[in-house]
């Protein structure tokens, strides 16, 4: 019996995607915006494609609809929004693909302007290996992974964030890629 192992590496794609915003609203102390992700690379990413709110500039503001229940206040309490189910039926984030829409909601009772930082991660297939459980007499390591997306390395540190700044009074939002050293 052969077992197929799909070898994947988690990578930071924050600076490699676009974030078009389709709807912005502020009603009853709730800031809400809808957006998609667009893959601006020639790489194909595999699930999981995750959008994580990892910091909010104003302590009284928090995310209220994250998939994992996180508040988004810090990387330790990141607010996760999975885009894996918003990809096409092939479940791949292909070059030039636009994901389906996700909505992010913040509790902003004081109606203050705030910024929030996002990191987007995905996986790249780095090769496959197979082993045979019926004919193998010992545990041998799989062959080295090959293939994968050139120029991408496994996620080891945060290199950039997309910073959104929300203004509840004007119901506008700006965004800026912030490169980290």
Query: Percent of the chain having pLDDT more than 70?
Result: 81
Rounded Cα gap, residues 29 and 14, in angstroms: 28
135 domain residue, yes or no: no
**158 close to 97: Cβ distance less than 8 angstroms:** no
Average pLDDT rounded to a whole number, residues 100-124: 96
DSSP 3-state helix, strand, coil percentages of the chain (rounded to 5)? 5, 50, 45
In this prediction, residue 36 carries a pLDDT of 95
Mean predicted confidence (pLDDT) in 33-59: 95
Residue 86 lies inside a defined structural domain of this protein: yes
Tell me whether residue 143 is in a domain: no
Indicate the SS3 state at residue 15. Answer: helix
In a domain, 97, yes or no: yes
Residue 2 belongs to a domain: no
Angle at the Cα of 76 from the Cα atoms of 171 and 30, rounded to 5 degrees: 20
Which domain does 97 fall in, by range? 10-127+155-179
The answer, yes or no, to whether residue 5 has pLDDT greater than 80, is no
pLDDT exceeds 60 at position 8: yes
- CATH code, domain with 84: 2.60.40.10
Q: How confident is the model at residue 45 (pLDDT cuts 50, 70, 90)?
A: very high
Instruction: Identify whether 166 is part of a domain.
Output: yes
Tell me the pLDDT of the chain averaged across its residues: 85
Q: Mean pLDDT throughout 66-95? A: 95
Number of domains making up the chain: 1
| Average pLDDT for 147-157 | 49
Check residue 46 and give its pLDDT: 92
Q: Report residue 4's pLDDT band, with 50, 70 and 90 as the boundaries.
A: low
pLDDT value at position 155?
Answer: 56
Query: In whole angstroms, what is the distance from residue 142 CA to residue 131 CA?
Result: 7
* Domain membership flag for residue 111: yes
93-114 average pLDDT score: 96
Whether 132 shows a pLDDT value over 70: the answer reads: no
> Which is more confidently placed, 132 or 98?
98
Q: Which residue has better confidence, 65 or 180? A: 65
């Amino acid at each position: 019996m052969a077992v197929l192992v799909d070898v994947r590496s988690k990578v930071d794609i924050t600076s490699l995607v676009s974030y078009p915003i389709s709807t912005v609203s502020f009603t009853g102390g709730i800031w809400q915006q809808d957006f998609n992700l667009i893959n601006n690379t020639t790489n194909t990413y595999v699930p999981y494609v995750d959008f994580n709110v990892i910091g909010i500039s104003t302590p009284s503001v928090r995310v209220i609809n994250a998939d994992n229940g996180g508040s988004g206040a810090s990387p330790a309490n990141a607010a996760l929004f999975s885009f894996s189910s918003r990809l096409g039926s092939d479940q791949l984030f292909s070059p030039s693909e636009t994901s389906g829409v996700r909505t992010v909601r913040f509790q902003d009772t004081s109606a203050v302007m705030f910024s929030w930082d996002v990191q987007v991660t995905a996986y790249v297939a780095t090769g496959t290996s197979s082993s045979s459980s019926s004919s193998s007499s010992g545990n041998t390591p799989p062959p080295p992974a090959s293939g994968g997306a050139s120029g991408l390395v496994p996620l080891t540190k945060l290199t950039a964030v997309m910073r959104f700044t929300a203004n509840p009074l004007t119901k506008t939002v700006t965004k800026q890629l912030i490169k980290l050293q």
